[in-house]
Amino acid sequence: MARLAVIDGVVYAPSDAKISVYDRGFLYGDSVFETLRTYGGRAFAVDEHLDRLERSLAALAIALPASRAVLTAELMDALLRADNTESYARLMVTRGQGALGLDPALAHAATRVLLVEPLTMPPLASYLRGIRVRCIRTVRASDAAHSAKLANYLASALALRDARQAGADEALVVDRAGLVIEGTTSNVFAVVGDRLVTPAVEAGILDGITRHHVIATARELGMDVELASLAPAALAESREVFITSTLREILPVSEVDGHRVGAGARGPVTEALHRAFRRRVGAPWVFGGDP
Ligand SMILES: Cc1ncc(COP(=O)(O)O)c(C=O)c1O
């Protein structure tokens, strides 16, 4: 199992991987990123991640630092070198280095950094029992950048800290209108009646790649999917709630703001969707219940 870092195409051991203190990613959070994972050792949904990376870069008017072919080849090479059973990969692009000063024109060449680590997922108990969430009102840097996957997660990190201090596992982000729009690093879904409800991209969410696959999976299973945002109280009264992300797939929520959701454990719709999602990505079922 290995961790490694690739900076502008050069491979480093993690302890040797260094970025200039004049890099605008460090100075101003002037950067975007993608989080990918492998299934069976192969990177999943690379094109979808590169499409989103390009959209994030376009929102910040940063040029793609290398062609998609080069970025893909660097990713494949790093995954091969790391040789993990399953890997997590974080691809970051900053506007690059420049003299101190806020003006983006001070930087001339974007910096790209790829980190590869062994993949770790939440414990099985979280998939069986679900996690507890707190709904926290906050405004994020990404709210001003048209859903770009900005590196600045400060507001979400503070919301997560508040949620943890309140005894929960995760925070859900509440917007100015008082509606739950997503998790700190995940999208949110609710089962309401026999429909699956999840906020629309226009609500100001990150257009999650797992979210896309879950919506497609639900439609394949014959479910109606409604794009809408719910208030915390309505979310708590849903039959089932779950969050989705590349690293966690489909993770049940058993408690919203101290109120039990459904039976207080993974519900049947969440489990059916997760099983179908695993079939879609070609991975075995390892999340408990019947084999
Ligand atoms: C704010 C936010 N929403 C949603 C997601 C889930 O996106 P994906 O399914 O592409 O991992 C993430 C992932 O990091 C995120 O940071």
Q: Are residues 141 and 276 in the same domain?
A: yes
Q: Is 211 in the pocket of ligand 1 (CB under 6 A)?
A: yes
pLDDT value of residue 147: 76
Distance between Cα 151 and ligand 1 center (Å): 12
Residue 232 near ligand 1, beta carbon < 6 Å: no
SS3 101: coil
Predicted local confidence at residue 234, as pLDDT: 98
Look up residue 266 and give its two tokens: 């993974």
Instruction: Indicate whether 64 and 156 sit together in one domain.
Output: no
Q: What pLDDT does 86 receive?
A: 97
- Domain shared by 80 and 212, yes or no: no
Q: Give the range of the structural domain holding residue 170, as residue numbers without chain letter.
A: 124-280
CA angle 278, 182, 251 (to 5 degrees): 30
pLDDT of residue 92: 98
Task: Say how many domains are in the chain.
Answer: 2
pLDDT number for residue 144? 80
State pTM to two decimals: 0.97
Beta carbons within 8 Å of 58's beta carbon, 6+ residues apart: none
Answer yes or no: is the C-beta of 152 below 6 A from any ligand 1 atom: no
Q: Ligand 1 centre and the CA of 84: distance in Å?
A: 23
**pLDDT tens, the chain, 291 aa long:** 699 999 999 999 999 999 999 999 999 999 999 999 999 999 999 999 999 999 999 999 999 999 999 999 999 999 999 999 999 999 999 999 999 999 999 999 999 999 999 999 999 999 999 999 999 999 988 888 777 899 999 999 999 999 999 999 999 999 999 999 999 999 999 999 999 999 999 999 999 999 999 999 999 999 999 999 999 999 999 999 999 999 999 999 999 999 999 999 999 999 999 999 999 999 999 999 887
Distance of CA 263 to the CA centre of its chain: 27
Taking each continuous run of H as one helix and of E as one strand, the counts in the chain are 8, 15
Whether residues 18 and 149 fall in one domain = no
Q: Using the 3D structure, point to which of 118, 147, 182 is the last residue of a domain.
A: 118
The answer to whether position 287 is within a domain reads no
- Judge if the beta carbon of residue 138 lies within 6 A of ligand 1: no
Task: Write down which residue in 60, 93, 118 finishes a domain.
Answer: 118
* CA 156 to ligand 1: nearest atom: 1
Identify whether residues 137 and 263 lie together within a single domain. Answer: yes
Residue type, 44: F
Question: By the 8 A CB rule, do 38 and 79 touch?
Answer: yes
Residue 99 belongs to some domain of the structure:
yes
Question: Does one domain contain both 11 and 107?
Answer: yes
Same domain, 131 and 267: yes
